[in-house]
Structure 1
Amino acid sequence: MHCFESADGLALAASIGGNPAHPPVVLLHGGGQTRHSWNNVFDALVAAGHYVISLDARGHGESDWDPRGDYSLDAMVADLRAVLHHIPSAPILVGASMGGMTALAAAGEASTSIARALVLVDVTPRINAEGARQISAFMRGNAQGFDSLDAAAEAVAHYLPHRPRQADSSGLARNLRKRGDRWFWHWDPLLVSGNNHAQALTQARLEAATRALTIPMLLIRGDKSNIVTEEEAKHFIALAPTAEYLNVQGAGHMVVGDRNDAFNSGILDFIKRVQRR
């Protein structure tokens, strides 16, 4: 594990792979996830010859929790910019959900180009309100933790009924912390209360960021997503007519976990074409 330091002194955990002289890719996970949600993508990108940085956002995984509870879009963007200072050339930014919002704002509002290309994973400036409420409800639930990894797996299976439940729940240990005899999700509860990321976002801000971008962009959507409907995807393409669009069949909002094979194929093909340009 590697640690970067944010502008306000928080430690930001990251996994880093590949040769720093190779084209860089930065992976930004969604709210309530950790950098490990990208593990298969991370390995595929390194194998394809990229320098890859997969970051735990503040308040997630092994990164510090903000003592002030600041998980605003501005804070997330500032963290990303602090990390980019340590990367030798402009990377391709890949962001899922919350991470996509962070990448979009950072790239679209920068005075000089900070990214070579942008991949948004099931997120656009306009998201489905009901889907967002469902995510918030899941993150607010089980505040008292779980008595076992199997109990946590049951909660995930209830939230994602379309995804086959794994026979072995041990992999969930990367997304939980054990305190005493109970397991708790690996995120700060303040993420979904007070000054949190979702409340700080504005559609107008992200739409303006989208219009400002001239770099190659790819929107990857899960066709069963309750966050980015086909209507929201069309709205994004209207804002960015040159952006590419990949609709992954059989995937929900968690596209990477639902259809990792299709996701990897799509992103590797896009990145290969970006490099040719």
Structure 2
Amino acid sequence: MVDRKPISFVGAEGNPLVADLWDGGGHPVIFLHGGGQTRRAWDATARAVARQGMRAISVDQRGHGESAWVETGHYGFRHYGADAAALIRQVHARFHARPSAVGASLGGLASLTAEMQEGPLLEALVLVDITPRLDPQGVDKIQGFMGARMEEGFASLEEAAEAIAAYLPHRAPRRSLEGLRKNLRRDEDGRYRWHWDPAFIKGAQNINSGADALMQELMTGLPGLHLPVLLVRGMRSELVQEAHAREFVSLAPAASYVDVGGAGHMVAGDRNDVFATEILKFLSRDQAA
């Protein structure tokens, strides 16, 4: 059995990044969560990767989970990319190997930005339901859900679970609220709020600041990206259409993609069994090569 151990890193602005290490003793694999999530979203997948003899490192990105809320309010994709580059270099130095990365949504774009603007840094990359080309209506839907109860919060875990169930009606009902508890913080007024800095959505340098320009830069640069990349797309995704996936793999020379049936944008949460199988296959193949 591989147990989770605490580990820490430092972001591009000196901001503390809290992480977990699942130490299988081999190749390091960094896991970066999506916007509004925490590192705990990767627990099951990280454990599976460690059991296959790799080192899984799941990280709370800036402003999320237990990592610091940055005083500068810098929450644009470029800032997350700079953090990812700093993190990748620290993992390389600590474990004496160029790591691979698995990034969902925000975490995927952060990893891709780091590699394309400061690389080569990575051994391989798994993008979970994200490409630089996104469905704008899907973006609005996701950010609308995130912002709807951002300040008001929830009176109980049950109330939060009901809101998520209404947003994700295709997902099976929760058997336990313990997993949800990891993505919420309980404030002094007794209410539960999402475990991230509200400036991520509403700050002067929020996640949408400069996003269009960066996405265009990434799309333009894809033909020069020779890193092995696996795009794992949820077939029900509201964010990445099949046309976006096909465009991505047609432009990035070493990219491939796989659809996960029954999954939406939250692929790992919807079908973690299929998701874990696909990324283990990809990472193991990459190591064997």
1:152 corresponds to 2:190:
no
Distance 1:162 1:260 in 2: 15
Find the partner of 2:208 among 191, 194, 198.
198
Distance 1:27 1:191 in 2: 20
CA RMSD of aligned residues (A): 1.3
1:50 corresponds to 2:54:
yes
Residue aligned with 1:195, SS? coil
Whether the aligned pair in 1 keeps the contact of 2:29 and 2:102 (CA below 8 Å) is yes
* Offset of residue 212 of structure 1: 2.2
Residue aligned with 2:126, SS? strand
Q: Residue 210 of structure 2 aligns to which amino acid in structure 1?
A: A
* Offset of residue 70 of structure 1: 0.6
Residue aligned with 2:69, SS? coil
* Offset of residue 84 of structure 1: 2.0
Whether the aligned pair in 2 keeps the contact of 1:104 and 1:210 (CA below 8 Å) is no
Percent identical residues: 42
What TM-score do you get using the length of structure 1 for normalisation?
A: 0.95
Q: Who is 2:22 aligned against?
A: 17
Residue aligned with 1:31, SS? coil
* Offset of residue 170 of structure 1: 2.7
Where structure 1 has 5 or more consecutive residues not aligned to the other structure, the ranges are none
Whether the aligned pair in 2 keeps the contact of 1:224 and 1:250 (CA below 8 Å) is yes
Q: Residue 59 of structure 2 aligns to which amino acid in structure 1?
A: L
Q: Who is 2:196 aligned against?
A: 187
* Offset of residue 169 of structure 1: 1.7
* Offset of residue 210 of structure 1: 2.5
Distance 2:56 2:49 in 1: 7
Q: How does 1:171-182 map to 2 (within 5 A)?
A: 171-180=179-188, 181-182=190-191
The runs of 4+ residues in structure 1 deviating greater than 3 Å are: none
Q: How does 1:23-38 map to 2 (within 5 A)?
A: 23-38=27-42
Distance 1:256 1:210 in 2: 25
Distance 1:31 1:213 in 2: 24
* Offset of residue 241 of structure 1: 4.4
Residue aligned with 2:45, SS? helix
Q: Residue 207 of structure 2 aligns to which amino acid in structure 1?
A: H
* Offset of residue 75 of structure 1: 1.4
Whether the aligned pair in 2 keeps the contact of 1:14 and 1:55 (CA below 8 Å) is yes
* Offset of residue 74 of structure 1: 2.1
Q: 1:71–1:38: structure 2 CA closer, same or farther, 3 Å change rule?
A: same
Find the partner of 1:140 among 129, 139, 147.
147
* Offset of residue 118 of structure 1: 0.9
Aligned residues: 275
Distance 1:251 1:109 in 2: 31
1:109 corresponds to 2:117:
yes
* Offset of residue 99 of structure 1: 0.5
Find the partner of 1:97 among 91, 105, 108.
105
Distance 1:174 1:2 in 2: 18
1:226 corresponds to 2:230:
no
Q: Who is 1:122 aligned against?
A: 129
What TM-score do you get using the length of structure 2 for normalisation?
A: 0.92
Where structure 2 has 5 or more consecutive residues not aligned to the other structure, the ranges are 1-5
Q: Who is 1:275 aligned against?
A: 287
Whether the aligned pair in 2 keeps the contact of 1:36 and 1:174 (CA below 8 Å) is yes
Whether the aligned pair in 2 keeps the contact of 1:149 and 1:170 (CA below 8 Å) is no
Distance 2:221 2:34 in 1: 19
Residue aligned with 2:90, SS? coil
Residue aligned with 1:197, SS? coil
Whether the aligned pair in 2 keeps the contact of 1:29 and 1:97 (CA below 8 Å) is yes
Distance 2:75 2:27 in 1: 29
Distance 1:246 1:208 in 2: 23
Distance 2:199 2:273 in 1: 34
* Offset of residue 231 of structure 1: 1.3
- Measured against aligned partners, the alpha-carbon deviations of 1:136-156 in whole angstroms (never above 9, x if no partner) come to 101111121111000010111
Q: Residue 232 of structure 2 aligns to which amino acid in structure 1?
A: I
